[in-house]
Amino acid sequence: MSEEQRWRDWFTARSGAVPGWTPWTVVPWPPRTDGDEPGNPVLSARSPDSHRALRVIRHAPAPSDPGVVLASWVTRYPEEFSDLPREELVVSLVESPPAIEQAARLVEAWLRAADAAELQVINPAHEP
């Protein structure tokens, strides 16, 4: 099973278990070719009912990476762009078990959060 499929399966199980949410549509990413950066994004999903989306981008570890490397941010799109969600959580991480665990906590918090400001509790470095 590919890393992308593991993320999709994990996400589908979590999103369906959150009260008040309809299951999100997991947006498949085109197949990679040899030499492509692995899985960017490894997961994309959108909830048309809540006008929210998320994207998880992963990068291969480099020898210079100091431990857990993870960044997250929320992009807000103006209402006049009706084909886009109002808010999108983006999580970018260097693959490691601790970074994957932290990314999973952020995604789960995003599913439960009323708005982007609630992510401060999970990830204090995040600026909504």
The pLDDT score that the predictor gives to residue 128 is 41
Residue carrying structure tokens 């100091």? 66
- Pairing label, strands 52-59, 87-94: parallel
The pLDDT score that the predictor gives to residue 17 is 72
Question: Average pLDDT for consecutive 10-residue bins of the chain (128 residues)?
Answer: 78 75 63 53 81 84 74 88 85 84 87 67 46
The pLDDT score that the predictor gives to residue 126 is 44
Amino acid identity, position 56: V
The pLDDT score that the predictor gives to residue 75 is 87
| Neighbouring C-beta atoms of residue 39, cutoff 10 Å | 19
Handedness of CA 113, 25, 106, 13 (dihedral sign): positive
Q: What is the 3-state secondary structure (H, E, C) of 83-115?
A: CCCCEEEEEEEECCHHHHHHHHHHHHHHHHCCC
Residue 52: C-alpha distances to residues 22, 35, 91 (Å): 12, 32, 14
The pLDDT score that the predictor gives to residue 41 is 79
The pLDDT score that the predictor gives to residue 109 is 85
Q: Which residues contact residue 4 at a Cβ distance below 8 angstroms, ignoring those fewer than 6 apart? A: 29, 39, 42, 43
